[in-house]
Structure 1
């Protein structure tokens, strides 16, 4: 069992959405220090004010995860302050809701860097201290889109497939080497935040962020290796495995309406949460 009490937690994209909700829950569960990385400086300062607690130190870093220099500087500053992170939650994410042919190279780079590369680099920088002390927890917020192709979010799907594959591979390596470092991969369906504003889902309910945040914290405490939500997402790998591709397109695309879910997507700009 993993405890939050007296631990140092680092959350990317922690100034709003489920990141901020998980920050609040971490404090409620007794975290000693909370480090938040976010691109939105205004939201960061607001979150810092909201989260100030006599029992928890709040440390904020305005950082654009696509900027190599900013990310490196932030990692260096964390190490310089000798902040020993016990639980890393790679939560920041971005999505561009359009067909692949309409993407720019900048949008492709940004999506892959925020959703896939930044979590790997941040984890790589913190792993040595976790392995040295024989404990630690890395939590990667991937997506159900990391298991299923979907028109209108091809690059997002690619980034989350990469994140999920890396995350579970890391888990196996940490277990094989008996490092004491635990890895959790989270694959939620659409969450009702600004990031996916406007998506439609006729059969599967869009998730409430409060419920998702609570489930993630519980999964960390119980040392789970995978969390899929809602429960029906646990059936997805099985359904993909038994149905021919054209039949899968019919069931997922037509029956569940997933392939048209991004048709009404609006989202929000400059969103890393």
Structure 2
């Protein structure tokens, strides 16, 4: 989606973190922006912060609830129109060993991080196909590339998201549709979601991460890791190293396997 001016952009989880920054960046590009978020107070605050003659709308929706997704998508189409750019950004993380997870931890993580983006995309993809124009950007994680203790369910949700997202890209290409799909795989971002994480690899700043995502959409990038070397490091390392050697390098040298030891997450 090389030209964002005048386009309608829907951002899930758009009332906080990098979602809120992307709202501002899209408005700066003269796009019409729709926020989906579970927190109405945050939606109201975001709209208040950015509404200055700008076209910005907000809808409270739980992206783990398929009925709410369907109903809210219909409201968007009736009240605003076709969505040109969809950014599936909403996500959660539960930082525990797998055996410590409750059933609801598992189902909520998969519903929000994996099922939600698929169900939301399904609501808007038909219009993009019919007009032969559109862009879907799915915010996955570098946790979808590298296994990590205390992130098993989160990693599972993001591995699944990456597989679906890039398969969707290939389907659009196979059907000769001008609907672009971008899969984003960032490292830890300093938004509060991963508070307590300790890392030898620098934790990303939200402003820079959000700007990289928006530019990736403008440039029709297919798969983007932030920072860029993460993809090369993981794929090359996994290709040439045995599992034992890769575990030693990722765990002992890079310290990745210990990053979640002091995780506390965002305070509620």
Smaller-chain TM-score range?
A: over 0.9
Mean alpha-carbon deviation: is it higher for 20-29 or for 233-242?
A: 233-242
Q: Offset at 1:181?
A: 0.2
How big is each residue's C-alpha offset from its partner over 1:25-72, in whole Å with a ceiling of 9 and x where there is no partner? 0011111x2110011111111001012031x32110111111222222
Partner in structure 1 of residue 214 of structure 2: 217
1:4 corresponding residue in structure 2: 4
1:130-162: CA deviations, max 9, x gaps?
011110000000000001110001000000000
Q: Which runs of 4+ in 1 moved over 3 A?
A: none
1: distance between equivalents of 2:2 and 2:169? 16
Ranges in structure 1 where 5+ consecutive residues have no aligned partner: none
* Matches of 1:205 and 1:53, distance apart in 2: 35
Q: Structure 2 matches for 1:43-62, cutoff 5 A?
A: 43-54=42-53, 56-62=54-60
- TM-score under structure 2 length normalisation: 0.97
Q: Does 1:158 align with 2:153?
A: no
1:234 aligns with 2:231: yes
2:193 alignment partner, SS class: helix
The correspondence for 1:70, drawn from 52, 68, 71, is 68
Q: Which residue of 2 aligns with 1:35?
A: 34
In the alignment, structure 2 segments of 5+ residues that lack a partner are none
What is the RMSD of the two structures over their aligned residues, measured on CA atoms?
1.1
User: Residues 186-225 of structure 1: matches in 2 within 5 Å?
Assistant: 186-202=184-200, 204-225=201-222
Equivalent residue of 1:227, what SS?
Answer: strand
